[in-house]
Amino acid sequence: MQFEVVFTRKPELRSPVLIEGLPGIGHVGKIAARHMVRELRAKKFARLYSATFPPHVIIKKTGMIEEMKNEFYYWKAESEGQHDLIFVIGNTQSTSPEGQYLLCEKILDIAQEFGAREMFTLGGLGVGRAVDSPKVFGAVNHPRYIPILEERGVVVKRDGVGQIIGVSGMLLSQGKRRGIYGACLMGETSGFYVDPNSARAVLEVLTSILGVEISMEKLVKRVKDAARRVEEAAKLERKMMEDMGIIRREPTDDEMRYIG
C-alpha cells in the first residue's frame, strides 16, 4: 500500500550495475545520472510511486502536472568489459526515516530481480563555499572498492567520521546485507546551488570505472543553457508576480533542491 511499482517492460539483463541519482545536495547525483541516461539513450522500464513521497505535485510549464515518482532505466553493454546498467532517478526521496528505509528496500528488490550485484550511488558533499575544481569523495560497503576509487583520484580515507544522509548511503548499507556491493561517489559542491560542474567530476570517475564513454560537452552545454533559462525565467516570473501574483515556484532541475 505504501509503494506501487509499475513495470512497462521486463528487460533481460546480465549482472547489471545499479546507478542511483535521486535528488540531494546540489542535485549533483540527479544531474549526473540523468545526463548518463540521456547520453546512453537508456530505456525506461519501471515507475515507482509511494505514499511516503511528499504530499504535492509539480506543475510544469505546459500546465501538465508531474507526479512525485522514481523511475528505472536500463542500458545494455555494447562491448567487452562493460556491464549492463540499471538507473534509478526521479524527482524525490521519501519524507520519513521509515519511508527512506522501505524505498531502499524496494529499489534493491528491483535491482536484485534483474540480477544486480554491484552499485554506485551518486551525490553531493556540501562544503559551504564555492568550488572551482570539485574533488570527488567516496565511501564503500566493501574494501575491494577502495583501490578502484583511489586509482581514479577519489578521496576515500578521511580524518574523523562522516555521514551520508538519505538513499545514497542507505542503499550501500542495506545492499551490503544482500551482497550488493559498491560505492557512493560524492562531488564536492557548495550546497547553495545546483552544481553541474560537480556532477561532471562525479561522472568522470563513474564512467572510468564502468568503462563507458559519454560526451561531457553536452552536459556542460545543457548546464549553461539551463542556467541561462533559469535566470530568464526568474526575471520573467518576478515581473509576472509583480504584475499579477503567481504560485509558489518549485525549484527547477537546474536550481538547488534538497530533500532531507
Binding to a second copy (CB under 8 A) within 111-130 occurs at 125-129
Helix (H, G, I), strand (E, B) or coil at 29: helix
Among residues 136, 140, 185, 203, the one that binds a second copy under rule CB under 8 A? 140
CB of 184 to a second copy, least distance (A): 8
Q: Which stretch binds a second copy (CB under 8 A): 8-16, 59-67, 82-90, 215-223?
A: 59-67
Contact status, residue 145 vs residue 157, Cβ threshold 8 Å: no
Residue 227 contacts by C-beta under 8 Å, 6 or more apart in sequence?
Answer: 254
Contact status, residue 216 vs residue 205, Cβ threshold 8 Å: no
Interaction between residue 52 and a second copy (CB under 8 A) = yes
Among residues 79, 80, 177, 217, the one that binds a second copy under rule CB under 8 A? 177
Interaction between residue 64 and a second copy (CB under 8 A) = yes
Residue 133 contacts by C-beta under 8 Å, 6 or more apart in sequence?
Answer: 201
Nearer to a second copy, 192 or 213 (CB): 192
Per CB under 8 A, contacts with a second copy among 5-34 are: 6
- Integer Cα distance of 136 and 150 in angstroms: 10
CB of 47 to a second copy, least distance (A): 9
Q: Which stretch binds a second copy (CB under 8 A): 13-21, 27-35, 163-171, 215-223?
A: 163-171
Nearer to a second copy, 21 or 138 (CB): 138
Nearer to a second copy, 213 or 232 (CB): 232
Dihedral of the CA atoms 150, 173, 37, 157 (nearest 10)? -20
Interaction between residue 258 and a second copy (CB under 8 A) = no
- Integer Cα distance of 61 and 37 in angstroms: 23
CB atoms within 10 A of CB 4: 12
CB of 224 to a second copy, least distance (A): 19
CB atoms within 10 A of CB 93: 26
CB of 204 to a second copy, least distance (A): 18
Per CB under 8 A, contacts with a second copy among 89-108 are: 95-102
CB atoms within 10 A of CB 217: 8
